[in-house]
Amino acid sequence: MAAKTPVDELKTLSVKNSDRVSGPASASAVANGTANGHAAEHSSKESDDDADEHVLEATAAAAADGGSAKKKKNRKRKPKNKKKVPTVQTEPPSVLISQLFPNNNYPKGEEVEYKDDNRYRTTDEEKRHLDKINSNFLSDYRQAAETHRQVRQWAQKTIKPGQTLIEIANSIEDSTRRLVGHDGLSEGDSILAGMGFPTGLNLDNIVAHYSPNAGCKSVLQQNNVIKVDIGVHINGRIVDSAFTMAFDPMYDNLLAAVKDATNTGVREAGIDVRVGELGGYIQEAMESYECEINGTTYPIKPIRNLAGHNILPYSIHGTKSVPLFKTDDPTKMEEGDVFAIETFGSTGNGLCVDQGEVSHYALRSDAPKVDLHLSSARSLLRTIKDNFGTIPFCRRYLDRIGQEKYLLALNNLVKSGIVEDYPPMVEKRGSYTAQFEHKAGNTAELQRLTDLHAAFNGALDGKLILASIDLQEPGKRILESGTADGLWLRDVCSSLSAPRHYFGSGIEPELFPAQSDGITYFKQSFNDPWPGDLRNSIDLVHHRGSLAGASPNEPLDVVKNLATLVKPGGWIQLQEMNGFKPPRNGP
């Protein structure tokens, strides 16, 4: 959720696993889509069920008068089926995070080093011990962050034009509730864990606080810029992270501007940093971009009446704010603060106003004592307290717990100052806006990918391209599937002098570099059909280290799909680790 300055919307941590690379690397070049080398291997094996032996019982019984023995019929006992504990996430996500990470051993995410006078917090043994004692609350944050990461990644893969906003919101929220193990249908369940606030689905000039109400018919279009804002909480520890998606590359610089600004804010944040100065760093980063849309160039402006902020337990908006421009605010970030560093950029005026149908509401923690005359308002207030507490909710959440005809009562609670409403925040008509979060944990994942890149380079003596292709010929088209931060592509680009076209695809746009450096990055799963303008046009397709993640498809299906990209005489280059048993249908 976003709010006006000084109290605003939040973005927080999200976490990524850092899987170690093991086993020697092998590389294979495949001509015209026909593989001749090893395919990806699955990194873990399913444990076999314990086989219960069938037990045969035979007993002899003496006859009452003849003493002859009769044997009872042998009876087979049904084997006990031992239920497997899931070790990987499903699609859509449905496995409890607590099952994937037993004993509360959740990924830590990114740990930023202290600077200057705060370095003693790392080097002083006593201080490190005290920090460890007081860090139990991080377990809740880490569980919420891992839930958010897995839902977010799935959403980024599946959100496509043609879906209704209701479908998108419900799928995100249902997945989140499944992963934390709280469906929110019983009284008080949503207060234990679940949605940190209603899912925001903000199109184009709508900046924040729009979530579809029941009956919404809005459909995501190819030319929309959509900001997806998701909140998850465990025991009131709220994690919020947003990302922006666009399906037309002309908006790329708008998205890059807010990403750079947010990452700058996270990098410069820390204990004793003054928030007014931090806003200056954010402003400088964002205003260094401009975006050409339909032939007109727009400077990217920070939205000045929105800000980041600190987060308190069960309270998404704390008492401190992080502006998106330089101010004289001397407020310092202090030890123990939890901040949401988020930025909003716009091609419009850099200001937004409240406008449109309200969906977001929250019970005020400082609500006045008011004598409510409407019995329906008193009843609804009890429902809100019992089901949400001060966690923000929306009208769809009231619908799903069986509330009906509640708008009059809800409006009465808002007018009485007991419940706060959050109308959609809108920039000027015709403008485009973007929002981005810092994805804590990216550092660990990017380091893993860097290590993998180094492992392949070492195994291949630094040779980036094994395919027999004339690299000196200008105009060659090179595409990397699963590019992540484009490290391989950037190395290829810097090593070749002849002009050529570079494309990088992946399912996590937040990993793409802020500066494209002549490379066209776009969101694409290797399981999905490739865009028509790329088919039969690529001279070299490079793919490595991820065929094992082809599920629910098989690796061979992925390779066949990659082959649709290759022009006659072109190449597919697959690079995978061979430390595991090859899949049965691998190339």
Q: For residue range 189-233, what is the model confidence (pLDDT) as tens digits?
A: 999 999 999 999 999 999 999 999 999 999 999 999 999 999 999
Binning pLDDT at 50, 70 and 90, where does residue 127 land? low
Do the beta carbons of residue 541 and residue 481 sit within 8 Å?
Answer: yes
The answer to whether residue 209 is catalytic is no
> Closest Cα to residue 111, out of 121, 101, 103?
121
pLDDT at 115: 63
Which of 167 and 583 is assigned the larger pLDDT?
Answer: 167
What tokens appear for 541 in the block? 């397709």
Residue of 38, 309, 438, 543 marked active site: 309
H helices present in 211-353, as ranges = 252-268, 275-286
pLDDT at 364: 92
Binning pLDDT at 50, 70 and 90, where does residue 284 land? very high
Least confident of 48-57, 86-95, 331-340, 359-368: 48-57
* Identity at 320, one-letter amino acid code: K
Average pLDDT over residues 165-170: 96
CA angle 351–353–358, rounded 5-degree value = 145
Residues shown for the chain: 587
pLDDT at 18: 36
Q: In whole angstroms, what is the distance from residue 210 CA to residue 176 CA?
A: 19
In terms of average pLDDT, the best of 58-67, 171-180, 509-518 is 171-180
Average pLDDT over residues 322-336: 89
User: Environment class of residue 284 by beta-carbon count within 10 Å: exposed (0-12), middle (13-18) or buried (19+)?
Assistant: middle
Which of 26 and 493 is assigned the larger pLDDT?
Answer: 493
pLDDT > 60? residue 386: yes
Q: In whole angstroms, what is the distance from residue 4 CA to residue 6 CA?
A: 6
pLDDT at 483: 87
Q: In whole angstroms, what is the distance from residue 179 CA to residue 25 CA?
A: 35
Which of 228 and 311 is assigned the larger pLDDT?
Answer: 228
Q: In whole angstroms, what is the distance from residue 41 CA to residue 577 CA?
A: 7
Average pLDDT over residues 384-390: 95
Binning pLDDT at 50, 70 and 90, where does residue 52 land? very low
Which of 4 and 462 is assigned the larger pLDDT?
Answer: 462
Binning pLDDT at 50, 70 and 90, where does residue 35 land? very low
pLDDT at 578: 63
H helices present in 114-249, as ranges = 120-123, 125-133, 138-158, 165-180, 189-192
The answer to whether residue 437 is catalytic is yes
User: Position of tokens 């098989």?
Assistant: 554
pLDDT > 70? residue 363: yes
Which of 511 and 217 is assigned the larger pLDDT?
Answer: 217
Q: All domains of the chain, ordered by start, with CATH?
A: 358-422 (1.10.10.10)
The answer to whether residue 277 is catalytic is no
Average pLDDT over residues 112-132: 59
pLDDT at 116: 64
Q: Is 107 helix (H, G, I), strand (E, B) or coil?
A: coil
Which of 252 and 68 is assigned the larger pLDDT?
Answer: 252
Looking at beta carbons, which pairs linking 184-192 to residues 24 or more positions away fall under 8 Å?
A: 184/387, 184/397, 184/400, 184/401, 185/400, 185/401, 187/386, 187/387, 188/386, 188/387, 189/387, 190/387, 190/388, 190/391, 190/393, 190/397, 191/236, 191/387, 191/388, 191/389, 191/391, 192/235
pLDDT at 507: 79
Average pLDDT over residues 415-423: 95
pLDDT at 14: 33
Sequence-ordered list of residues with C-beta below 8 angstroms from that of 92, at least 6 positions apart, any chain: 154, 158, 171, 174, 175
Q: Is 502 helix (H, G, I), strand (E, B) or coil?
A: strand
pLDDT > 70? residue 3: no
pLDDT at 548: 63
Average pLDDT over residues 173-199: 95
Binning pLDDT at 50, 70 and 90, where does residue 81 land? low
* Identity at 518, one-letter amino acid code: G
pLDDT at 138: 78
pLDDT > 50? residue 65: no
Sequence-ordered list of residues with C-beta below 8 angstroms from that of 116, at least 6 positions apart, any chain: none
Q: In whole angstroms, what is the distance from residue 32 CA to residue 54 CA?
A: 53
pLDDT at 458: 83
Does the bond joining 92 to the residue before it have cis omega, within 30 degrees of 0? Answer: yes
pLDDT > 80? residue 390: yes
Do the beta carbons of residue 315 and residue 389 sit within 8 Å?
Answer: no
pLDDT > 90? residue 461: no
Do the beta carbons of residue 10 and residue 315 sit within 8 Å?
Answer: no
Binning pLDDT at 50, 70 and 90, where does residue 422 land? very high
pLDDT at 189: 94
Least confident of 160-164, 306-310, 386-390, 565-569: 306-310
Sequence-ordered list of residues with C-beta below 8 angstroms from that of 287, at least 6 positions apart, any chain: 299, 300, 301, 302
Residue of 342, 427, 445, 480 marked active site: 342
Q: In whole angstroms, what is the distance from residue 396 CA to residue 402 CA?
A: 10
Q: Is 292 helix (H, G, I), strand (E, B) or coil?
A: strand
Q: In whole angstroms, what is the distance from residue 261 CA to residue 281 CA?
A: 8
The answer to whether residue 240 is catalytic is yes
What is this structure's pTM?
Answer: 0.66
The answer to whether residue 229 is catalytic is yes
Average pLDDT over residues 393-417: 95
pLDDT > 60? residue 175: yes
Residue of 9, 41, 437, 539 marked active site: 437
Residue of 41, 173, 240, 576 marked active site: 240
- Per the prediction, the chain carries an average pLDDT of 80
Residue of 209, 317, 438, 542 marked active site: 317
Q: In whole angstroms, what is the distance from residue 417 CA to residue 42 CA?
A: 56
Average pLDDT over residues 372-398: 95
Percent of the chain clearing pLDDT 90 (strictly above): 47
Neighbours of 358 (CB within 10 A): 19
Which of 242 and 63 is assigned the larger pLDDT?
Answer: 242
> Closest Cα to residue 456, out of 419, 502, 491?
491
Q: pLDDT of 68-80, one tens digit each?
A: 444 455 566 666 6
Binning pLDDT at 50, 70 and 90, where does residue 583 land? very low
pLDDT > 50? residue 385: yes
Which of 19 and 461 is assigned the larger pLDDT?
Answer: 461
Residue of 41, 173, 229, 508 marked active site: 229
